[in-house]
Amino acid sequence: MASQKSWDHEVDALVVGSGAAGLVAALAARAMGLDTLLVEKTKYYGGTTAFSGGGLWIPNNPVLLRSGMRDTHEDARTYLDAVLALNDDEVSPARREAFLTEGPKAVEFLEQESEHLRFFWVKDYPDYHPELPGGTREGRQIQIGAVDGRILGAEHERMRRARLIVPQPFGMWIMIDEARELSLVGHSWKARLLAIRLGLRGLVALLQGKKMEPYGGQMLVAALRAALLDKGVPLWLSAPLSELVAEDGAVIGAVVERDGRPLRVRTRGGVIMAAGGFERNEEMRHEYQPEPTTNLWTLGAPGNTGDAIRAGLAVGASLSLMEDSWWAPGILTPEGRSVFLLTERQQPPGFIVNTNGERYTNESAPYVNVGHAMYEAGTAGATNVPSWFVVDRTFRNRYKLGPFLPRQRIPKAWFDSGVVVRSETITDLANKMQVPADKLQATVARFNGFARTGRDLDFRRGDSAYDRYYSDPKQKPNPCIGPVETPPFFAFKLVPGDIGTKGGLLTDEHARVLREDGAPIAGLYAAGNVSASVMGHEYPGPGSTIGAAVTFGYVAAKHLAATIARPDRQTPDP
C-alpha cells in the first residue's frame, strides 16, 4: 500500500464505481453536505446496473405502502430469514436488519432528493419464494418511471449501453411488467396488440424529439446521473482505482489514474467501494468459483475485474461468498458467450437435461437456484455443465428463445458449432447431443405425462407462483409444462451464466469493510457486488441485487458523514 506523501486532490468522500451503489452513495454523501468525488474505471458510467431490468427489491418501502400493498417490517424479516435458511447462510442478523430498516429510508431519500427519481410498484411480480413464511405473490419490486434521456444533456452519450438481444425499434421503451406480456407475442393477440401500442408510443416520442431510455436499468442509471448533475457532483470517467492509501490501519485516501497519470486523492471521511464484482477476471474466477467457468459466460459490465476487491485485500479486508454468483443460466452462442434464459425456462414445451439425458431441477425456479443445481454433481456420472435445453417446434413457433424471436430461422453457424442440434426424432436428437437415447426418450415420456396431468412429480415445476410468472396461461392444466412432441426437436447447449459475482469484501451493518478478526477498517466502506451479498447464497425476489446495492450505498454515505466533525458543515439525516 502507498505511504502518505503529498496529495493531488482532497475530498470528504471518494466513491469508486458508477453502478447503482456508487451513484446512490455519491448522491447521499452530497445531500449530507460532503465534498464528494465519484470515479469510474471505464469510459462509460452505469456499471452492470445499466444492463439490468433496473428493479429494486426493498420490502416495506413507501412506494409499496402508498400503492396499497400490505407489507410490514416483521413480514419482511420473517421472509428474508426463511429464504436465507434455505442454504444455511450465516449473514449476520445485524446486516439483515440494516437492509430491512435502511432500505425504505433509502427509497424515501431518493424520491425526496430529486424530481427524476419517481418509482412505481411492479405489482404481481412475486417474490422468488412466495410460499415461504412472509413471502408474497404480489411481490415487493419497484421500478423507476420512464425516463427521457435528454435530461442528461451531453452525459447521455457516456452511459454504458448493452446491445439488446431483441431490438426495440421506433424509440420503443419497455417497462418490467410489459416485458412479461410481450414474452408471449408469438402466441397471444393481447401481446401482439401491446407490441403495436408500445411501438406507436415509441414512435410518437421519437417524433417529439425525445430520447427515451429503452429498459429499466438505463432508466434508473439515467435518473440517478441526472440527480447527480443537478447537485454538481463531479464524475471522473476512465479513472481506475490503483490502490488504497492507509495509515495506522485506517484508509485515508486512494490512488486514482486520470489522463494517464496517478493522482493521490485524500479523503477526510473515507472511500466507498462500489466497483462491481470480479466476473470479468478469468484468473479470479478460476481461483474462487466452481469449475468449469469462464468470463465469456457473464453478463456483468466489462470493467468488473475485481480491482477494488484486491485493493481491499491489500489493506487487510476479509472476503466472503467468493464461490457464488448471481447465476443466470443461458444458451451458448457460437462464440462461446451466454444468452440469459429468463422467460423461456417457465414456458411449457421445454425442459433441461444433463449429459445423461435426465432432468435434475425445476427449470422454472429462480435463476440463481437453477445455477446452483447446475454445479451440483450429476447422477450416475453425469455432469450438469453444460446441460441441454430441449424444445420442440411448438416452442419455437410460440416463444422467443435467447436471441431468436418466434419462428425466426436459426443461423447455420449455430448448428455447425454444435451449440444447437436439431432432429426429427428424439433418438437422433439424443445421438447428436451425445446423451443416451433411451434415457432421453424416457425423460420425454415422463415429462409429457406430467404435462397431461399438470403435476411435476419430480421437481414440482409450476407449484410456485414464481414458476408461473412468465408461463403461458393458455397451457392447461399446468401453464409451465407442455408436451414436447411436435417435430422437429431442438436442443440448445446451456451453461451457468451470471449477471455478476456475489462474493467480495465482507461488511458490517454500516457497510464498513471488516478485517479477518471482525474489526472494521476505518475509512473503508463497500456496497453492491464488490461486497459479499446480504442475500447470502439466495435471491429473495426480483431486484434483490440492486435493492441491496442502493440500500448499502446509502448506508455507507450516512455512516461516513457521521464520522466527519467539522463546525462549518451540517450533517442532516436524509
311-337 mean pLDDT = 97
The residues facing 255 across adjacent strands are: 243, 264
Whole-number average pLDDT of the chain: 95
DSSP string, 318-384: -EE-TT-EEE--EEEPTTS-EEE-SSGGGSSSEEEE-TTS---S-TTS-HHHHHHHHTSPPGGG---
Residue 90 — very low, low, confident or very high, per pLDDT cuts 50/70/90?
Answer: confident
In a domain, 401, yes or no: yes
Q: Which is it for strands 520-526 and 261-273: parallel, antiparallel or unpaired?
A: parallel
Pairing of strands 387-391, 350-353: antiparallel
Nearest-angstrom CA–CA distance, 331 and 339: 5
* Rounded mean pLDDT, 324-346: 97
Q: Is residue 75 part of a domain?
A: no
Quote the strand ranges of 26-175, DSSP E. 36-39, 56-57, 119-121, 141-144
Q: Residue 568 domain-assigned?
A: no
414-466 pLDDT tens trace: 999 999 999 999 999 999 999 999 999 999 999 999 999 999 999 999 999 99
Which of 496, 512, 527 is at the close of a domain?
Answer: 496
Residues 381 and 523 in one domain: no
One domain, residues 520 and 489 = no
Residue 131 zone, left/alpha/beta (φ > 0; ψ -120 to 50; rest) = alpha
Does an H or E element contain 498, and which?
Answer: strand 498-501
289 and 498 in contact (C-beta within 8 Å)? no
Q: Is there a single domain that holds both residue 487 and residue 338?
A: yes
Q: Are residues 315 and 412 in the same domain?
A: no
Domain that holds residue 194: 165-214
Examine residue 223 and state whether it is found in any structural domain, yes or no: no
**pLDDT score at 87:** 87
pTM: 0.95
- The DSSP bridge partners found for residue 525 are 272, 512
Using CB atoms within 10 Å of the CB of residue 263, give its burial: 0 to 12 exposed, 13 to 18 middle, 19+ buried: middle
The CATH number that applies at residue 477 is 3.90.700.10
Residue 414 and residue 420: Cα distance in Å, rounded?
A: 6
Residue 483 and residue 342 share a domain = yes
Same domain for 505 and 490, yes or no, is no
If one counts the domains in the chain, the total is 3
In the numeric block, which cell numbers belong to residue 209?
A: 424529439
The pLDDT of residue 493 is: 98
pLDDT bin (cut points 50, 70, 90) of residue 3 is very low
CA gap 51, 163 in Å, rounded: 9
The pLDDT tens digits of the residues spanning 487-544 come to 999 999 999 999 999 999 999 999 999 999 999 999 999 999 999 999 999 999 999 9
Mean of pLDDT values over 178-206: 93
Tell me the C-alpha distance between 538 and 408, whole Å: 35
How far, in Å, are 74, 120, 139, 330 from residue 136 at the CA level? 13, 17, 5, 27
Q: How confident is the model at residue 164 (pLDDT cuts 50, 70, 90)?
A: low
Per-residue confidence (pLDDT) for residue 380, from 0 to 100: 67
Exposure b/e, 69-90, CB count within 10 A at least 16 = b: bebeeebbbebbbbbbeeeebe
Q: Of all residues in the chain, what percent carry a pLDDT higher than 90?
A: 93
Judge whether 93 lies within some domain. Answer: no
Strands annotated E in 32-169? 36-39, 56-57, 119-121, 141-144
Beta bridge partners, 266, equal 10, 253
Q: Are 385 and 508 found together in one domain?
A: no
Intra-chain end-to-end CA distance of the chain, in Å: 34
Number of H helices, E strands in the chain: 15, 21
Together in a domain, 464 and 507: no
Residue 551 within a domain: yes
The reply to whether 372 falls in a domain is yes
Which CATH number does the domain housing residue 248 bear?
Answer: 3.50.50.60
Query: Do 357 and 462 share a structural domain?
Result: yes
Question: Which residues are bridge partners to 387 per DSSP?
Answer: 494
Cβ atoms of 500 and 276 within 8 Å: the answer is: yes
- In a shared domain, residues 179 and 297: no
Does some domain include residue 80? Answer: no
Query: Which residues contact residue 332 at a Cβ distance below 8 angstroms, ignoring those fewer than 6 apart?
Result: 338, 386, 419, 492, 493, 494, 495
CA-to-CA dists, residue 126 to 141, 179, 258, angstroms:
8, 15, 44
Question: Within 10 A of 482 (CB to CB), how many other CB atoms are there?
Answer: 27
Same domain flag for 319 and 364 = no
Q: Are residues 354 and 484 in the same domain?
A: yes
pLDDT category at 567 given cuts 50, 70, 90 is: very low
